[in-house]
């Protein structure tokens, strides 16, 4: 009977074999999934089989000719899923989630060059199995019969599929206990349950998230508040109010990582202005971005709320109508007007809705700027023109104001006109890495122009100017080329170090007289608490996870969105614990207490967002 079933469903078995091999090849080449032992490698190889058995098995209910047509169609759809995940992963180092798919308004024509950069010519090989299946179907009449499978054969087939699934899951659980509770670690899920089952699991999580707000009650906030209150660190009283009453200018440095700071390329400084500014400012050289799939919008969310972004999708899309206690809303009580300046479409990343929720008075989007083909490249208006036009708008704003400026030019794929290049491209096998340095240099020159304009318009002296990198620019897909520039291998430990971004606080008349470099680990979650103390605003009782970076009893603890963390003495990433200074692996027990704290903190932040818990907070009433 087994031989009869095999002969009758040979086409299905061939498709199953080819799709399993193709998936495994993508795992190893495009997803770059690492394993620690032979069993993990075996799990990686077999984990798609149960899903493929279920999907291809739908064809068992059809006549053979229709069954095989269905299998070819299913193969095409699954190949599209693989390619989508592959392209997304190459830049974002992550896997697609349902919230990301809901962000379809972000996929506009100006993204074309970015997406094109992520394709390799070898990707065409992903359709080889489809061609083979079509050829077999067309050329071999044995695959076009009207034969059917019996009910007993179908039942046995699906019992085998179920058995394969639970066998695979059981093996995975031996390698990672309570695997399905680790929804924040998408790579771990893909490695163990397959990219396909991961998407099903993600869909279930999404449906669960939709119900959390409806079920949330005021007492859900109690545990969160207790945790925040118990971890509260009093801000530095000596620093309190040193920027009181000043305008606040926040500058988001697109895709800028700390490895370019104080570095040279071919004897030329990559960031000469920022290097000089650092010597007149408070500079944090171990400051980490904590963004997730929302990238720049996540950095905005963290900075304005002191909450973590979501592990799946972007808060700007999933929860724009929540109640927030954002910085603009708080500053209104102190006479501030708040603005965002970003020369892009107002609906991109759902900003128009989210800024209303945050309490901004006005969003100066692309309609507020004079944009033409001559002054634009890549994603839009060049940074030099952007800062000049922004200051022109800024000078007419009522003071004091809180203004956020979002730069654009240093965005993947890092395009720049020849006349704007102030430094040569790097020489590696990666065009993206090579182009990154000229766009960073251009951004640096644009910031210099911003400061000059602020001074000439009389806005400089009475402002506090904060610059922060929003997220990484060079993903780990380009590690080979980047390691060439850095002169060292990029290990998981070094990969965490590459998540450092600049954070510069410049207060004219204050920091230029007494600059300071702070090397304790910190993150974007701390930006708001630090700013508010400098402005002299009491934030005790506020729902936020960050701390004043100048607090005297602050215990450095920086959590990244994927569950990695950095303390004064250690770094945890990718299941390994490292000594922060040497980079050598240390006993996992050292990291365990902090792992639980990191997970708890991320979970509490997620509860606040998914449940819209701030609507229950007394400060909102």
Catalytic residues: 296
Q: Which helix (H) or strand (E) holds 338?
A: strand 337-341
Cα distance between residue 221 and residue 611, in whole Å: 9
Cα distance between residue 255 and residue 436, in whole Å: 9
For helices 479-486 and 431-456, angle between their N-to-C axes, nearest 10 degrees: 60
Non-local (6+) Cβ contacts of 145 within 8 A are 63, 64, 65
**Three-class SS state of 281:** coil
Q: Which two structure tokens, joined as six digits, stand for 178?
A: 């309570």
Q: Which two structure tokens, joined as six digits, stand for 451?
A: 């400061």
Q: Cα angle at 342 between 337 and 346, to 5 degrees? A: 95
End-to-end CA distance of the chain: 71
Q: Which of 444, 486, 469, 545 shows the shortest CA–CA distance to 287? A: 469
Structure-derived torsion over alpha carbons of residues 223, 226, 231, 234, reported in degrees to the nearest 10:
140
Q: Which helix (H) or strand (E) holds 265?
A: strand 264-265
Q: 374-377: which pairs have CB atoms within 8 A and are 24 or more residues apart? A: 377/409, 377/415, 377/416, 377/417, 377/420
> CA 58 → CA 71, 351, 355, distances in Å?
9, 42, 46
Q: Tokens 């000089």 map to which residue? A: 276
DSSP label at 379?
T
**CB 469 within 8 Å of CB 501:** yes
Q: Which two structure tokens, joined as six digits, stand for 402?
A: 């809180």
| C-alpha R_g of the chain | 26
For helices 592-610 and 220-230, angle between their N-to-C axes, nearest 10 degrees: 140
Non-local (6+) Cβ contacts of 146 within 8 A are 63, 64, 65
């Amino acid at each position: 009977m087994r031989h009869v079933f095999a002969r009758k469903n040979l086409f299905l078995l061939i498709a199953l074999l080819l799709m399993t091999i193709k998936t495994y090849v993508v795992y190893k080449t495009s997803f770059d999934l690492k394993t620690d032992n032979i069993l993990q490698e075996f799990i990686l190889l077999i984990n798609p089989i149960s899903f493929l058995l279920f999907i291809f098995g739908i064809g068992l209910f059809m006549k053979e000719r229709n069954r095989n047509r269905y299998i070819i169609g299913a193969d095409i759809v699954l190949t599209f899923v693989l390619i989508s995940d592959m392209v997304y992963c190459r830049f974002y180092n992550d896997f697609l989630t349902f919230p990301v798919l809901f962000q379809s308004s972000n996929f506009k024509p100006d993204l074309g060059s970015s997406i094109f950069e992520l394709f390799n010519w070898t990707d065409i090989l992903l359709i080889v199995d489809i061609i083979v299946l079509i050829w077999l179907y067309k050329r071999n009449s044995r695959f076009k019969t009207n034969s059917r499978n019996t009910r007993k054969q179908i039942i046995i087939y699906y019992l085998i599929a179920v058995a394969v699934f639970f066998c695979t899951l059981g093996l995975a659980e031996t390698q990672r206990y309570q695997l399905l509770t680790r929804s924040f670690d998408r790579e771990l899920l893909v490695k163990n349950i397959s990219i396909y089952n991961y998407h099903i699991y993600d869909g279930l999580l999404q449906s669960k998230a939709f119900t959390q707000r409806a079920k949330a009650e005021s007492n859900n906030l109690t545990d969160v508040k207790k945790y925040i209150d118990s971890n509260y660190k009093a801000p530095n009283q000596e620093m309190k109010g040193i920027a009181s009453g000043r305008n606040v200018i926040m500058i988001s440095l697109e895709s800028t990582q700390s490895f370019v700071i104080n570095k040279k390329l071919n004897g030329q400084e990559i960031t000469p202005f920022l290097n000089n500014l650092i010597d007149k400012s408070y500079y944090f050289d171990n400051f980490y971005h904590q963004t997730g799939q929302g990238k720049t919008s996540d950095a905005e969310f963290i900075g304005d709320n002191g909450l973590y972004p979501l592990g799946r999708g972007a808060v700007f899309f999933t929860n724009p109508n929540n109640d927030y206690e954002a910085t603009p809303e708080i500053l209104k009580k102190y006479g501030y007007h708040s603005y965002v300046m970003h020369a892009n479409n107002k609906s991109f990343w759902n900003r128009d809705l989210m800024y209303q929720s945050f309490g901004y008075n006005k969003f100066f989007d692309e309609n507020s700027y004079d944009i033409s083909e001559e002054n634009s490249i890549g994603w839009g208006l060049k940074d030099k023109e952007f800062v000049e036009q922004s200051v022109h708008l800024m000078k007419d704003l009522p003071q004091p104001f809180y203004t956020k400026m979002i730069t654009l030019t240093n965005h993947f794929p890092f395009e720049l006109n020849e006349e704007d290049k102030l430094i040569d491209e790097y020489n590696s096998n990666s065009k993206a890495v090579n182009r990154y340095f000229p766009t960073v240099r251009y951004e640096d020159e644009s910031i210099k122009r911003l400061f000059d304009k602020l001074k000439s318009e009389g806005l400089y002296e009475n402002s506090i100017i904060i610059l922060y990198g929003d997220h990484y620019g060079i993903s780990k897909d380009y590690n080979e080329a980047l390691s060439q520039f850095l002169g060292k291998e990029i290990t998981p430990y070094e990969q965490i170090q590459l998540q450092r971004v600049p954070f510069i606080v410049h207060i004219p008349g204050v920091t230029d007289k007494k600059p300071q470099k702070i090397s304790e680990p910190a993150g974007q979650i701390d930006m708001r608490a630090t700013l508010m103390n400098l402005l002299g605003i009491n934030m005790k009782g506020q729902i936020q996870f960050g701390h004043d970076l100048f607090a005297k009893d602050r215990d450095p603890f920086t959590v990244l969105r994927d569950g990695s963390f950095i303390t004064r003495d250690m770094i945890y990433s990718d299941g390994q614990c490292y000594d922060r200074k040497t980079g050598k692996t240390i006993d996992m027990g050292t990291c365990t207490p902090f792992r639980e704290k990191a997970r708890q903190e991320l979970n509490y932040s997620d509860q606040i967002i998914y449940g819209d818990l701030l609507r229950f907070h007394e400060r909102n009433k």
